[in-house]
Structure 1
């Protein structure tokens, strides 16, 4: 059996390394000049990046608007419905000269003001994300509910009912306008 000559093996490895180095050096030609991007590719990339950014921003804005509309429209019937019920109880007590007339009047006033405050709080939370026309309808309701609370507070058995009826009509109109503007579930 023949043994491997260490000198021959070392010489063969060194020769192989030199040959590989020469091949690599021959392939590595230096190009003179300054590296510049391909202007057409760069313009296309910038356009695509801007469009992607606009789409992401638009998508976030649409999602925030949908959430704000859903939050406000979902709670509106429940919040305002309590005010309607208490107001109707007051009207029934007024018309019947009921002994609990004053208590029902105060409950109606309190509930109408509470509904206006809750709707206004939701409106304020969604001010930047609610569509302006819907925000305007919520604001109209808040104004009308507070006016009805004020007129209700003024009521006595001898007070004229005209201003109260007008205020009630404005609340009903404002409430219907919001319900009509909100998406149907």
Structure 2
């Protein structure tokens, strides 16, 4: 039995080799005809390539715009923090009736105006959801600076400062993080 099984395996292997050689030989023969461009496939390919290029360009533009927005928001947060510190130093001096209250009031008014101008300068480069908030912030800080310069104390300053805090918080919330 063993001999017939061996013969069968050898015969099968030989047949497989012959068929394989025939397939390889069949693939190597030339095909007659003339090559022609498929215009509809070429147009489809060109449209896909253009669409892909436009999408990549759009993606790069969106990434650059987001990076600019993050930069503007970071500058706003830094400037707002410094402005609030200067304003709070004025309030502490005014509450203590300190001798340097006038100097700290002037420094606070300058800081408030600078923060308002910095925010105002960034408005054109920002998306609509931040433009309105920053416009309100600019107007509020200008009003607060005028109130400080005008020697106002108490409720009016507290109202303007509270509104400024609310606006700053809203802007921070609307800003993307890195």
TM-score above 0.5: yes
* 1:71 to 2:71 alignment: yes
The count of residues paired between Structure 1 and Structure 2 equals 144
Deviations 1:56-75 (A, max 9, x none): 33113212211111111222
Structure 1's 144 and 37: CA in aligned 2 closer, same or farther, altered over 3 A? farther
Q: Which residue of 2 aligns with 1:14?
A: none
Structure 1's 74 and 172: CA in aligned 2 closer, same or farther, altered over 3 A? same
* 1:87 to 2:80 alignment: no
SS class of match (2:98):
coil
Contiguous gaps of at least 5 residues in structure 1: 1-30
Q: Which residue of 1 aligns with 2:168?
A: 175
Query: Structure 1 CA distance, aligned partners of 2:65 and 2:132?
Result: 15
Query: Structure 2 CA distance, aligned partners of 1:181 and 1:48?
Result: 36
Q: CA deviation at 1:178?
A: 1.2
Q: CA deviation at 1:154?
A: 1.4
Q: CA deviation at 1:90?
A: 1.0
* 1:147 to 2:140 alignment: no
SS class of match (2:97):
coil
Greater share of helix: 2
Q: Normalization by structure 2: what TM-score?
A: 0.70
* 1:138 to 2:134 alignment: yes
Q: Which residue of 1 aligns with 2:30?
A: none
Q: Would the aligned equivalents of 1:141 and 1:175 in 2 still touch at CA under 8 Å? A: yes
138-147 or 71-80, which moves further after superposition? 138-147
Deviations 1:91-150 (A, max 9, x none): 1111122111111110000011112222223334xx2xx332123333332222222111
Structure 1's 37 and 150: CA in aligned 2 closer, same or farther, altered over 3 A? farther
Question: Cα RMSD between the aligned structures?
Answer: 2.3
Deviations 1:29-64 (A, max 9, x none): xx9xxxx97441243034213412430331132122
Query: Structure 2 CA distance, aligned partners of 1:37 and 1:116?
Result: 63
Q: Normalization by structure 1: what TM-score?
A: 0.68
What are the within-5 Å matches in structure 2 for residues 1-185 of structure 1?
38-124=38-124, 127=125, 130-155=126-151, 159=152, 161-184=154-177
Q: CA deviation at 1:175?
A: 0.6
Q: Would the aligned equivalents of 2:70 and 2:177 in 1 still touch at CA under 8 Å? A: no
Contiguous gaps of at least 5 residues in structure 2: 1-33
Query: Structure 2 CA distance, aligned partners of 1:116 and 1:46?
Result: 50
Structure 1's 160 and 89: CA in aligned 2 closer, same or farther, altered over 3 A? closer
